[in-house]
Chain A
C-alpha cells in the first residue's frame, strides 16, 4: 500500500495532501489533550513497531506481496489520533530514507495507512466490545476483527484511489497517465490480497498485542479510565434498581 510517486496524478495526490493537513493538526491536538508523558515511550515504541511490522512482506498466490501495518493496535490502545501521528512518522522515514512510498503520494499513503486503518479499527473495536470487561474474550474478538477490518478497509480505499486514475487523468487519446489499471482491477486485487492474507496478519498482531497489554498494563490504554467509570456506573445503577 506504499504507493510510489507516479501512481496517483495531481488531481488525486494534491487533495489527499490537503485533507491530511487538518487531520494531522487535529490529531496532534487530541494527543496533547488525551495522552500523558507516561505513555510517550509506548508511543515511540508503537511507531517503531509499526515500521518493523511493515518489513514483513507476505507472499500471496499470484506472485504479489504485502504487509500488515500495526495501526489498528495502536489505534485501540493509544487512540486513533496517536496512531495517526505514530504511523505518519514511520511512513515519513520509510519514504525519505528508504524510498518506500512516494513524496507526492505521502498524503494519500498516510490517509490510507495512518487514518483509515486506525479510525475504522477503533470504531469496530468499540462496536463489538461494548461495555464488556477489559479482559473478556469479547474484547479479544473485537480486537481481532478490528485489525482485520481496518487493514482491509484501507486497502479498499487505496484501491479506489488508484482505480480512478485512468478515468481521471489520461492523454487525449485515452491512454492513462498514472495508474493504468481501473477500479475493476484495483479494488478486487487490493481487497483480495488484504482480506485473505495481510489483514489476517494485522488481526493476529492486534489481538496478540491487545491480549498482552490488557492483562499486563491496562492503565496505558488511553480510554481505560472511561471504561472503568462506565463499569462502576453500571454496577451502581443495577444496585439502585
Chain B
C-alpha cells in the first residue's frame, strides 16, 4: 500500500479528462453549446462543499509539480478516512457474528 501511495503522482501525468467527465467549457468548445440540464447540475456539490476538489489545491492548468503535493495529501487523507470509515462500518456489520459464534461454542 505504501508503495502505491508513494507512486500516486504517476496518476497525474495523464492530463486528459476521462470520457464523460468533461468540464462544461469543453462541451461549449466542441458543440457550441452547453446542454441545459448539465449546466444546471454541474458543480452541484463540489463547487461549494468539496474540501479538496480535483484531489488537490491546484486550479485548472497548473503544472505537475504544483499538483503533486495536493495529490499526496489527497491520497493519504483519502486512505485514512476511507480506511477508518470502512473499518468502523464493517465492524458494526459483522459484530453480531462474534456473539453468535461464541454462543455456539458454549
In the complex, the answer to whether B93 meets A28 with C-beta atoms within 8 Å is yes
Across the two chains, which residue of chain A brings its CB closest to B55?
A98
In the complex, the answer to whether A45 meets B1 with C-beta atoms within 8 Å is yes
How far is B76's CA from A201's CA once the two chains are assembled, in angstroms?
22
How far is B17's CA from A46's CA once the two chains are assembled, in angstroms?
26
Contact of B52 among A32, A97, A177, A186 (CB under 8 A): A97
Q: Is A226 an interface residue (CB 8 A)?
A: no
Q: Which of A99-107, A116-124, A138-146, A210-218 contacts B (4 or more CB under 8 A)?
A: A99-107
Contact with A along B40-84 (1 / 0, CB 8 A): 111111110111111100000000000000010011011101111
In the complex, the answer to whether B12 meets A180 with C-beta atoms within 8 Å is no
In the complex, the answer to whether B11 meets A67 with C-beta atoms within 8 Å is yes
Chief secondary structure at chain B's binding surface = helix
Known contacts A99-B50, A171-B36; is-contact A57 B41 (Cβ 8 Å): no
In the complex, the answer to whether B71 meets A5 with C-beta atoms within 8 Å is no
A37 contacts which chain B residues (CB < 8 A)? 91, 94-95, 97-98
How far is B74's CA from A100's CA once the two chains are assembled, in angstroms?
12
Known contacts A5-B45, A57-B14, A58-B14; is-contact A43 B90 (Cβ 8 Å): yes
In the complex, the answer to whether A6 meets B55 with C-beta atoms within 8 Å is no
Q: Is B21 an interface residue (CB 8 A)?
A: yes
Q: In the complex, what's the smallest C-beta–C-beta distance from A46 to chain B, in angstroms? A: 8
How far is B51's CA from A4's CA once the two chains are assembled, in angstroms?
16
Q: Is A96 an interface residue (CB 8 A)?
A: yes
B49 contacts which chain A residues (CB < 8 A)? 96
